[in-house]
Amino acid sequence: MTRWENYLKSAVQILQQYGGDVPLHHFLKGFFKQNPKMGSRDRRWVSQLVYDYFRLGQWEQSANMEERIKAGVFLCEDEQNDFLNFHSPGLNEQISLPLEDKLPLVKLNGNGFSADALFPFTAELSAGIKGEEWAQSMLKQPNLYIRARPGKMDQLLKHLGLSDTAFVQIGEQTIQLPNGTNLEKIFPQKNWYEVQDLSSQQTGSLFKPKRAENWWDCCAASGGKSILLKDQMPSVNLLVSDVRASIIQNLKSRFSEASVGNYSAQVIDLTVDNFAHSLPRKQFDGIILDAPCSGSGTWGRTPENLAFFTAAKIKEYTDLQEKIAMNVLNYVRPGGAFIYITCSVFKAENEDMVEKLVATGKLKQEEGGLIEGYEKGADTMYAVRFTKI
C-alpha cells in the first residue's frame, strides 16, 4: 500500500472512532500515541485529512468517507499536493482555482455543494452575518494572531524580521501569522506576547478600566481576557473565577509566566444559589462575563463541533448564560461596567441575551455588538458593554 493509501485509511479509521465528545486535537493525540510508527509528516497529513473532512460541516455527512475526505482536501487546500494527485489527479490540477469555481466541481451522494447544507443554522444567525460567506469561511483555517504585551511590539517585529515568516502587523498590538507558526522558535521570550485571536483582542476596547479599580472576570478559563485587562491597567485588583478547578490551575501558571500579579483566584459555580458567599466584596467596578457558549464563532478552528451540532443545543447555552448573567450582574456597583461576551454567531446567545439583560431594568446598554472575524480569517464574537443603573 502506498503512503497516500495509508493516510486515507488512517483518516477513515479515526473518523469511524471519533464521536465528537472530546476536542478533535486531543483525540488525534491519543490516536497517534497508540500508533507510534507514524512519523511527524504522517501525523500532519492524517490530521489535515480529518480536519478537511470536518470543514465540510453537515454537507452530505452520510457520503462515503473516502470520497468526502478527497472533497474536503480539494475545497479546503489551495496548493497542488501529492495526496490528491494520487487519489484524484483531475481535481488536483484545479485545486488553485478560486473557491467559487471549485465548488461546482464536487458532488457527494450526487448532490452539489450548498452553504445551507454545510451550515443548516442560517436562520439562527446574528444580524449582520452573511450566511453564505459565513458557511464558506468554514472551508478555510483561520490565521494565528498574537497580541504584543505592553512595550514589546518592537522586539517582536525585530525577531520576525530575522525569521522568514510572513506576517502582518494590525494596529498597535496585533500580529497576524500563518497558522502553525512555531512561535517559540522565533521569539526568545514567551512573555513578550499572548496568543489571542484578533476578535478576542478587540473585546478589550470595551473594558476601559481605571486605576486601582476592582474587577471580576467571572468565567475566566485560563485568563485570556484577564491578561488583556491587566495589560491595559496593571493596578486593577482582579478576582478571577471559573467553575473548573483545572482551568484555574492553568490560569495560575499562565499568569505567572506572563508576570501578572495583584489578583485572587477562586473556583465558583455561578449557577448555584449561594455562589457569592466566598466573594471578597459584593460590589465590583467592572465584571467581565465571557459566557460559556456554543463557541460557533470559533468553529473555523474546531470544525468538528459544527459537524456534531444540533440547533437544540442553543437553548442549553442560553439557559446557562441567562442564569449566570442574572446572578452576577447584581455584583456590579451602580455606575460600574458589565461586559457580556460570547464567541457565538447565534442571535439567541447574542442580541436576544442583550435584550433580556436590558429588560431587567438594572443595566443600560452602552456600546459594542458583533465582532465580525470570519471575513478576515479570525473568530466571530459578540461583546457589549453595559452600565449598571
Ligand X SMILES: C[S@@+](CC[C@H](N)C(=O)[O-])C[C@H]1O[C@@H](n2cnc3c(N)ncnc32)[C@H](O)[C@@H]1O
Q: Which residues carry a binding-site annotation for S-adenosyl-L-methionine?
A: 242, 269, 290
Q: How far is CA 57 from CA 125, 135, 260, 308, in A?
A: 16, 9, 39, 8
Q: Which residue is nearest to ligand X (CB)?
A: 224
Torsion of CA 293, 298, 304, 305, to 10 degrees: 10
Query: Distance between CA atoms of 298 and 199, rounded to whole angstroms?
Result: 10
**Candidate list 76, 219, 293, 343, residue with the active-site label:** 343
Q: Is 336 in the site for ligand X (CB under 6 A)?
A: no
Per DSSP (E only), the strands in the chain are 107-108, 111-112, 144-148, 168-170, 174-177, 193-195, 214-217, 237-242, 263-267, 284-290, 332-342, 363-371, 381-388
# residues contacting ligand X (CB under 6 A):
17
Among 91, 270, 314, 354, binds ligand X (CB under 6 A): 270
Site for ligand X in 271-330 (CB under 6 A): 271, 290, 292, 324
Which three cell numbers mark 16?
469511524
For the bound state, the minimum distance from the C-beta of residue 135 to ligand X, rounded and expressed in Å, comes to 23
Site for ligand X in 210-249 (CB under 6 A): 219-222, 224-225, 242-244, 247
Which residue, 92 or 196, has its beta carbon nearer to ligand X?
196
Which residue, 103 or 247, has its beta carbon nearer to ligand X?
247
Query: Distance between CA atoms of 81 and 62, rounded to whole angstroms?
Result: 26
- Class of residue 339 by CB neighbours under 10 A (exposed 0-12, middle 13-18, buried 19+): buried
For the bound state, the minimum distance from the C-beta of residue 242 to ligand X, rounded and expressed in Å, comes to 5
Catalytic site includes residue 293: no
Annotated binding site: 242, 269, 290
Site for ligand X in 139-168 (CB under 6 A): none
Q: Which residues bind ligand X (CB under 6 A)?
A: 219-222, 224-225, 242-244, 247, 268-271, 290, 292, 324
Q: Supply the residues annotated as catalytic.
A: 343
